[in-house]
Amino acid sequence: MILIFSRHQSELFSVPLCSTVCLIKVEEMETKRQRQVAELVKRNFSMVLHEMGLYIYGSEPLVTVTEVKMSSDLGIAKIYLSIWNTDNKQAVMLQLEEEHTRLRAALANRLKRQVRRIPDIALFEDETIDEMYRVDSLFERLHREDQMGANRPAEEENE
């Protein structure tokens, strides 16, 4: 059986195939207009966070926009945020969610001359960089404990 998961549509399909189970991620191709609007939203939302961030979450956390994905009808913008310089990232995300309407209104003020319909925004925490650091520390630990296997002499492998 093959399980097919579409990230954009959040649907899970199962297709029988022998007795194994595989996970296949199916992504829709983004149109040129989706990419253009996503980049426009990314640039302008970054400026909104720069201007309003001090009032929303304070001066300590650093919040950056890492990626924006637009829905096929350009009605929803999924904004992925990277949060630095704080231990409580969830609190920053909650503060941003509380100010959702103000953030969308500020974004609308910047985009009103460039798009017909202002997209609704959905904020997500981007954990890609955190995951990279976790994997890197795991590899460092394996190297320190000599469990990587690449540093073994050829004589030991033959015995």
pLDDT digit string (tens) for 32-56?
Answer: 999 999 999 999 999 999 999 999 9
Nearest to 45 by CA among 108, 117, 137, 95: 108
Residue 26 · residue 46 · CB < 8 Å = no
Nearest to 100 by CA among 124, 116, 83, 117: 124
Domain boundaries in the chain? 1-29, 32-143
Confidence label for 154 from pLDDT (cuts 50, 70 and 90): low
Thinking of the domain 32-143, which architecture would CATH place it in? 2-Layer Sandwich (3.30)
Q: Which residues of 19-45 are buried (b: 16+ CB within 10 A; e: fewer)?
A: eeeeeeeeeeeeeeebeebbebbbebb
Confidence label for 11 from pLDDT (cuts 50, 70 and 90): very low
Choose between 73 and 87: higher pLDDT.
73
pTM for this one? Answer: 0.70
